[in-house]
Amino acid sequence: MEKEIISKYRSDVIEKSINIEFIINMIISQHYFKKVVNNFIFELLYDVCCNYRLKRNVLKKIIPEIDKTKLNDMDRLNSIRNYFAHCNQEYFKQTEKPTPNSVGVILNPHNLEKYIDFQLLYEEFINKEKDVVQYLLEILKNKGGEFEKL
């Protein structure tokens, strides 16, 4: 796959992941303060120690009836985001001599016998992302929060 396409997919996945995380932050703030408190979001929830897994666990606690399928989809979206954010090192077999136009493969860090198919991951991400966003926005709305798309 061409580097330009992967780069476009990478930026799209990361931007959409940032949006999902912001909605989660809004839900958490709305739950505890009955409004979105920017200082709470930007000083605490965006702290480097306050990662996705912690926010996900908080969501489970404050919304005990959360849809487990949507929660699994959120986890999968985050996993795909991590592939795009952290996996980019092209690998060439030692018997190959790369040329300036060579395209190597990117190994799957969980199974070095397999390669990462960014096209497939991107399609999966796009297919799940809209439903997850819609679900999270419904949770925000049910907690009394508002979200306006610019």
Predicted confidence (pLDDT) per residue in 81-123, tens digit: 988 886 665 544 555 566 555 555 555 555 555 666 788 999 9
Alpha carbons 84 and 11: distance in angstroms, whole number: 9
Check: pTM over 0.85? Answer yes or no.
no
Predicted confidence (pLDDT) per residue in 117-138, tens digit: 788 999 999 999 999 999 999 9
DSSP calls for 75-132: HHHHHHHHHHHH----B--TT----TT---B-EETTEEEEE--HHHHHHHHHHHHHHH
Q: How many residues does the chain have?
A: 150
Predicted confidence (pLDDT) per residue in 4-42, tens digit: 888 899 899 999 999 999 999 999 999 999 999 999 999
pLDDT at 49: 94
pLDDT at 109: 52
Specify whether the CB–CB gap between 9 and 118 falls below 8 A.
yes
Parallel, antiparallel or unpaired: strands 107-108 and 111-115: antiparallel
Alpha carbons 132 and 137: distance in angstroms, whole number: 9
Q: How many CB atoms lie within 10 A of CB 60?
A: 12
